[in-house]
Chain A
Amino acid sequence: MILNLASIALLLAGALFFLAGTVGLLRFPDVYTRLHALTKADNLGLGMLIAGLALQAESWVLLGKLLLIWLLVLTASAAASHLVANQALARGIMPWRR
């Protein structure tokens, strides 16, 4: 019961972070701030969702697979953010200032 409630809370928190990431992508002013919003959805949103699903996992194999998916997405999002930010700087896109 406790496990189920914790799982539901984690799933909802993950969905909330996906919503926050999308709102950030839509509302933030430039590439760098949008990268920030995007990585929140990638890392925390998917992380919490996977934690919530992992609490329901029946076997260790399933747990390992979920964890592997999260690690792969983490790697991809970190690499992508670095490449895009680096390239944006190289193209002379200035970070947003108020």
Chain B
Amino acid sequence: MSSLYLALALFLLLTLVAGLWRVGRGPTAADRMLAAQLFGTTAVAILLLLAEAMDSPGLRDVALVFALLAAITVVAFTRRAWQPERLPTSEPERLAERAGGAA
């Protein structure tokens, strides 16, 4: 069983490495951020598998902290670093602007 956990952890690490391509490429900032979000989830999965394989239950707490803090980075990203140039004040206004301007 232990070797299966380790093999799966290695496989997930390889998918993480593949996801790095999107960080380097990603046309918009959101694409890079989404890759980081996927890395966070993958790290949670790897840590849970490692906790089982290495028989050290403390690693589950690390996975728990990762899961807890997963949202913070993306929230900071959308609230701070990726604001539109002009902030429309309300939802109807934004809808109207989109219907008028972008189409």
- Name A's B-contacting residues (CB within 8 A): 4, 8, 11-12, 14-15, 18-19, 21-22, 25-26, 31, 34-35, 38, 41-42, 45-46, 49-50, 53, 56, 62, 65-66, 68-70, 72-73, 75-77, 79-80, 83-84, 86-94
Which B-chain residue is minimally distant from A82 (CB atoms)? B78
**Interface members, chain B 65-103 (any A CB < 8 Å):** 67-68, 70-71, 74-75, 78-79, 82-84, 88, 94, 98, 101-102
Q: Is the CB of B71 within 8 A of A19?
A: no
Instruction: Determine how close the nearest CB of chain B comes to the CB of A69; give it in whole angstroms.
Output: 5
CB neighbours of A84 from chain B (8 A): 30, 33-34, 74, 78
Residue B64 at the chain A interface, CB threshold 8 Å: yes
Are B30 and A87 touching (Cβ within 8 A)?
Answer: yes
Given contacts A90-B84, A90-B88, contact A73 B67 (CB under 8 A): yes
Point out the residues of chain B lying under 8 angstroms from A90, CB to CB.
84, 88, 94
* Contact of A22 with B38 in the complex, beta carbons under 8 Å: yes
Which residues of B from 1 to 53 have beta carbons under 8 Å from A?
Answer: 1, 4-5, 8, 11-12, 15-16, 18-19, 21-22, 28, 30-31, 33-35, 37-38, 40-42, 44-45, 48-49, 52
Number of interface residues of B (CB under 8 A): 48
CA distance A92 to B82 in the complex (A): 12
A-B contact count (CB 8 A): 133
Do A8 and B4 have beta carbons less than 8 Å apart?
A: yes
Please name 14 pairs of A and B residues whose Cβ atoms are closer than 8 Å in the assembled complex, sorted by A: A25-B38, A31-B31, A34-B31, A34-B34, A42-B37, A42-B38, A49-B8, A76-B70, A77-B37, A80-B37, A84-B74, A89-B98, A91-B84, A92-B98
